[in-house]
Structure 1
């Protein structure tokens, strides 16, 4: 009876889940950093927390409502001191929808991060078994050591590739698709080409600032996300190995004999 009660009440929380699309895990995060990324781009903080459905929904909402309200274009005019133009292009009907959800994204990511830190502490204390290897019909996933700086470099070269290196397929797909959309509609690479050949006026003329303003925050976010995920995956590998060695060789009688 006591063993049955322990079985029912033990391991209420798992620290990680391995699947063909990647590894979803609990780990400690700074709520202020998560909230800051939500302020930089709504949905980014939730993606850091691996609350993907909520994060992607807010991310797409930001793209749609921001572009419809002309907020980015208004910001560009404001930065250049053209305040009358900034007020003229801003659509207040869409802005009225934008502000409450923007503030909610910051608040909810902070609150969720605080709660998930508590869950992380409890999950680590319970020491639930970790799965270290998974093989499926389309993909193989396993815990191993990867270099965070390599994930960072690949993400800086091509957003989404750092997540792919860390085997975060969902993050990689979303980062790659959004990067293609932002670069295509902003004409960023065309503007870069004209800049490299010295035609700066032409570069400024072809650049769509409404879409270009999405690029800096998403570019650096994907790099940060790839780096952090790789670091935490390495931590998870160490944790699984430590738990395995503890369970297999935790007492002297369980140690393998060294005698020939």
Structure 2
């Protein structure tokens, strides 16, 4: 059972602990969140714990990007072959891609600003949150974990850092897409050939369109795991302070600051 059930007695809550993960609101930089949406639509929303919207935009980005050959055009542009970049682009899909891409950036920025305001108001209300959730299949609880270890697991395999801090749904989505990217990009095959010294074959087997998905995926997995571990630790310490203050601190206890009593 939950220690504190969210019974809608508060207008706003800063966090909620469920068997699928810990969802919380905290202050974020709107420009950083918008930048992640620039890097890969959907990632900005996932950093905000806007999961459904984030998963939809993430799937949209992969499908439409491949249909429009955006990544392939980027590769030709990096090589200075602009005419070829124009030729490979499929405008039928590209014209669908552009407005959604812009929307993802704008919406993640707008939502970050709104959630920052909500966080400030919820902090003033300072309502209790549940700290423990248990069900037939899983359990979750507030605990302190190592942010560097979360980032390290994400470096080994995107999604493992999220599993470490119990972000189950995000971990599942990131791991599934990682497997898809690994398979269609032939990245691991290329790494194996590289270790055997067959550099030309390693380069030939790679699929650049799928391979270009990896920088954003790895970056997001590492940043998301690290950032949420830090924030979960802060939430744990805050709840622990509240508990100790309510159950162990005497009402007559005061902190002296100079000659003033707080």
Instruction: Give the TM-score normalised by structure 2.
Output: 0.91
2:155 counterpart residue number: 156
State the partner residue of 1:3: none
Q: How many correspondences in the alignment?
A: 247
Residue segments in structure 2 that go unaligned for 5+ positions in a row:
1-6, 254-262
Q: CA deviation at 1:83?
A: 1.7
- Separation of aligned partners in 2, 1:15 and 1:85: 50
Task: Check conservation: 1:10, 1:126, Cα contact below 8 A.
Answer: no
Pairing 1:37-186 to 2, within 5 Å after superposition: 37-186=36-185
Q: Residues 247, 74 of structure 1: CA spacing in aligned structure 2 closer, same or farther, 3 A cutoff? A: same
Spell out, residue by residue over 1:141-182, the C-alpha distance to the aligned partner (whole angstroms, 9 max, x if none): 110110100000001011111000001101111110110011
1:78-106 alpha-carbon deviations (Å, 9 max, x no partner): 11122221111110111111111111100
Offset of residue 229 of structure 1:
0.7
- Other structure's SS at 1:24 match: strand
1:214 aligns with 2:213: yes
- 1:36-79 CA-to-partner distances (Å, cap 9, x unmatched) read 00000000000000000000000000001000001101111111
Q: Deviation of residue 134 (structure 1)?
A: 1.5
Q: How big is each residue's C-alpha offset from its partner over 1:176-229, in whole Å with a ceiling of 9 and x where there is no partner? A: 011001111110101111112221111111100111111111111101000001
Moved more, 23-32 or 241-250: 241-250
For residues 231 and 220 of structure 1, what CA distance do their matches in structure 2 show?
17
CA distance in 1: counterparts of 2:11 and 2:246, whole angstroms? 19
TM-fit CA distance, 1:251: 3.5
Structure 1, 36-45 or 198-207: larger mean CA deviation? 198-207
Cα distance 1:109–1:204, how it changes in 2: closer, same or farther (>3 A)?
A: same
- Match of 2:16, SS state, is strand
**In terms of mean alpha carbon deviation, does 212-221 or 82-91 score higher?**
82-91
Mapping for residues 215-230 of structure 1, pairs under 5 Å: 215-230=214-229
Work out whether 1:29 is the aligned partner of 2:28.
Answer: yes
CA distance in 1, matches of 2:218, 2:9: 42
DSSP-derived class of the 1:145 partner: coil
Indicate if the aligned counterparts of 1:163 and 1:226 stay in contact, CA closer than 8 A.
yes
How many angstroms apart in 1 are the aligned matches of 2:134 and 2:214? 36
For 2:67 and 2:52, locate their aligned partners in 1 and report how far apart those are by CA, in whole Å: 23
Larger mean Cα displacement after TM superposition, 32-41 or 236-245: 236-245
Deviations, residues 16-55 of structure 1 (Å, cap 9, x unaligned): 1111101111111111110000000000000000000000
- Aligned residue number for residue 4 of structure 2: none
Give the structure 1 partner of residue 233 of structure 2.
234
TM-score (ref. length: structure 1): 0.92
Shift of residue 9, structure 1, vs aligned partner: 9.7
Indicate the larger mover: 148-157 or 240-249. Answer: 240-249
